[in-house]
Each structure stands twice: as C-alpha cells, then as structure tokens.
C-alpha cells in the first residue's frame, strides 16, 4: 500500500479540523509522550530493542510503540516515536542516554570553531531511519488517525548541544548567548535550516501535522526569547510545506513556559499554539481570538489523582475554553512515566464523553 493515503481515506480527521478551527463533533485529544514509559507494552518493546536509540532507529519497532496507545485509548492522533535530539546526533555529536540522567552528547558545542564545523542536516541521507518510520506508521495506521511529525526548536536543540545534556541553570548556553550573540545566531541559523529540512521531509514521507517543541524557551528573558527562540521558529514556519497530498498541513508551536508570548507566537503564522498548565486556556483564547487554535493544557500531575478528580479537571478546562472548535485537548507537557494507564484512560474517555456538549 502507498504510504501516502489520500485525504478521502482518513477515517478520523477531527484533530486536523480543530487545528484549522473548522467545526468538529467533539474536542479531539492526544497526549504528549503518549507512547512512553507509563505503558508496560512500551517497556517490553524498548527492552526488545535494547536501548532507546535502537528503538528510535528501528522503523518497525518505532511504528509498534507509536500505535500502542491507540490500541488502549480513543485518541485522535498518533505522534511519530522519535526524539527531539536526532538532529544534533545527525550533526555528529554522538547522542546517548545515561540511566537516570537523560540525554548526553559525546561532543559538546562551546566555541565559534565548534559551530562552524556543523553542517545543515540532509534528512534524506542523515536521518533516513526517521523517514522510514514515518512511512511505516502511515501504512500501518491505514487512515485511522492523522500522524504528527515533530522537531525540537533551534533554541532547545542549542541548549542541549552547548550544555552537553539537560541543565538546570543553562550557564554555558546563556553565557554564549550573552557574550557572543553572533556565534549563537550562527548556531541557531544552522539548526533552523536543519529543522526546516527535517520537518519538510517528514511531511513528504506522510506526517499530516507537525509540532515544534520549544522546551526551554521559557527559560529566557522577554528580549532574549524574541531574539533567540521566536525569531527562528518564525523562520521555520515560513519555510515549511503547508499543503501536501491534497490537505493543509497544520503547524503547532509549543513553548513550555511561554504563556506571556502567545500573541507574538500567533504572529508567526502557525496554525495552533500549545499551552502548558500555567496559562488559563480561556484567557489565552481571549488574547489570541480566532487567529490560532489552542492545544492543551491539563497539568500532567492531575493524572496521579483519582479518575473522578481527573474528570472534574477535564470539565473545568472545557468550560474555560468554551463553545466551538479550535481546541485540541492535551496535557500541558508530556505524560509522566509513573502514571497509571487506567488514569490516562479515564482522562481520554472524559474528553470523549464530555466535549460533544461544547460543539454543534
């Protein structure tokens, strides 16, 4: 079967419609990190793969874990199983994962010479395993729900590359940003061009919407966010394929901690903005109006509470957003690894059961 299924064969398109603020019968829902460590079947497949990157680089296993949550929950979208740090890895930085410490790099970017040694990623040759995974997932989904592709934002990728992994104080990347802004701009520019190539290749391979994860944008000051994060996400949005296979390809921007910049984010031309749980979705809707759809934004920690409490919080967020389309229900960040899958099920089912009252 051709990996690129025509729009007429997409059985459930309410996610794509909501991103474009078109009428839907209920609020669509998916979860960031919905294929992940909270699911026992994911842990079994990861053990079979050997390690995280081996799982990412095996298209059949990446497809298997992408589809696992759809077998459990009535979700409205699948998201490609991969990692935001595939681009730096393809640039030769040597990504690996330390148990309990998260992602690390064998090579760290600290100097102008380091930055000048980097080349724009050619996705077709450097990240072909990602494209094989996208094609495999599209084939196996067979039009069941849309597939989301994604990338990290340039600022977020740069943060990991300069720090060498996760960071609490961002001392190296912020020192580079403030001391040698021209070097930081060189790094962000090569990353933005790489992200454009990467996301466009995912779209051509079959991704039907794309999300840019700006995980660390909220660590920046107002002025720095505009110059070092938002500017490059705008460059990416401007460079993306926005229509493919007879259908618009919506773009979602998500800056964790970015609630103060929603109007500026809407100015980029993105179709939707992701919200973390620190911003009220009703007030966000009031600020951006009909310019963009909104995605979010339940605190992932609510999933540790009882199913009844989860349902109450779902209703509160639906009430806050109000009537009409343009809302994609999600968590305000990725689902935590210690969440009971039955609580995730209660969350998804609450959205499915309660949200039709807000439409039609």
Q: Which residues are known to be catalytic?
A: 33, 37, 46, 83, 160
At residue 105, φ and ψ (nearest 5 deg) are -125, 140
**Does the annotation list 172 as a binding residue?**
no
- Distances in Å between the Cα of 169 and the Cα atoms of 165, 225, 318 are 12, 16, 35
**Does the annotation list 26 as a binding residue?**
no
**Does the annotation list 27 as a binding residue?**
no
Contacting residues for 128 by C-beta, under 8 A, at least 6 apart: none
Given the structure tokens 């996610």, which residue do they identify?
Answer: 15
What is the rounded CA–CA span in Å between residue 226 and residue 223? 5
What is the rounded CA–CA span in Å between residue 272 and residue 218? 18
Strand partners, 148: 79, 209
Cβ(265)–Cβ(253) under 8 Å?
Answer: yes
HSE-CB of 334 using CA atoms within 13 angstroms: 14
Cβ(115)–Cβ(187) under 8 Å?
Answer: yes
Cβ(350)–Cβ(306) under 8 Å?
Answer: no
**Does the annotation list 36 as a binding residue?**
yes
**Does the annotation list 51 as a binding residue?**
no
- CA angle (187 as vertex; 181, 193 as ends), nearest 5: 130
**Does the annotation list 144 as a binding residue?**
no
Burial 6-31 (b: 16+ CB within 10 A, else e): eeeebebbbbbbbbbbeebebbbbbb
What is the rounded CA–CA span in Å between residue 1 and residue 225? 44
**Does the annotation list 323 as a binding residue?**
no
State the Rg of the chain over Cα. 19
Contacting residues for 312 by C-beta, under 8 A, at least 6 apart: none
What are the structure tokens assigned to 11, written together?
């059985």
**Does the annotation list 160 as a binding residue?**
yes
HSE-CB of 47 using CA atoms within 13 angstroms: 7
**Does the annotation list 185 as a binding residue?**
no
Binding residue numbers: 33-37, 83, 160, 215, 333
Residues flagged as binding site for substrate: 33-37, 83, 160, 215, 333
């Amino acid at each position: 079967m051709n990996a690129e299924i025509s729009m007429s064969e997409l059985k459930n398109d309410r996610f794509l419609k909501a991103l474009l603020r078109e009428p839907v019968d209920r609020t669509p829902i998916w979860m960031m990190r919905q294929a992940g460590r909270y699911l026992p079947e994911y842990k079994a497949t990861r053990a079979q793969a050997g390690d995280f990157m081996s799982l990412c680089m095996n298209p059949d296993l990446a497809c298997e874990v992408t589809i696992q949550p759809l077998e459990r929950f009535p979700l409205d979208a699948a998201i490609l199983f991969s990692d935001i740090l595939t681009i730096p890895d393809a640039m030769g930085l040597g990504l690996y994962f330390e148990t309990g410490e998260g992602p690390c790099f064998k090579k760290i970017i600290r100097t102008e010479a380091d930055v000048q040694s980097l080349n724009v990623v050619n996705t077709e040759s450097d990240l072909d395993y990602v494209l094989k995974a996208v094609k495999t997932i599209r084939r196996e989904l067979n039009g069941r729900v849309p597939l989301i592709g994604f990338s990290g934002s340039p600022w977020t990728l740069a943060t990991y590359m300069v720090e060498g992994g996760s960071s609490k104080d961002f001392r190296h990347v912020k020192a580079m940003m403030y001391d040698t802004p021209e070097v930081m701009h060189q790094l962000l520019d090569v990353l933005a061009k790489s992200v454009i190539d990467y996301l466009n290749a995912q779209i051509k391979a079959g991704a039907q919407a794309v999300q840019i994860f700006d995980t660390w944008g909220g660590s920046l000051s107002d002025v720095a966010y505009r110059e070092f994060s938002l500017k490059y996400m705008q460059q990416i949005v401007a460079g993306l394929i926005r229509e493919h296979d007879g259908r618009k390809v919506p773009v979602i921007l998500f800056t964790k901690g970015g609630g103060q910049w929603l109007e500026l984010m809407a100015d980029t031309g993105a179709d939707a903005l992701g919200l973390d749980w620190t911003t009220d979705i009703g007030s966000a809707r009031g600020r951006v109006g009909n310019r963009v759809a909104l995605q979010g934004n339940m605190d992932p920690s609510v999933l540790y509470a009882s199913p009844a409490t989860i349902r109450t919080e779902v209703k509160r967020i639906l009430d806050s957003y109000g009537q009409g389309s343009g809302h994609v229900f999600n968590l305000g960040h990725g689902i935590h690894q210690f969440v009971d899958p039955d609580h995730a099920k209660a969350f998804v089912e609450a959205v499915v059961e309660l949200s039709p009252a807000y439409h039609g």
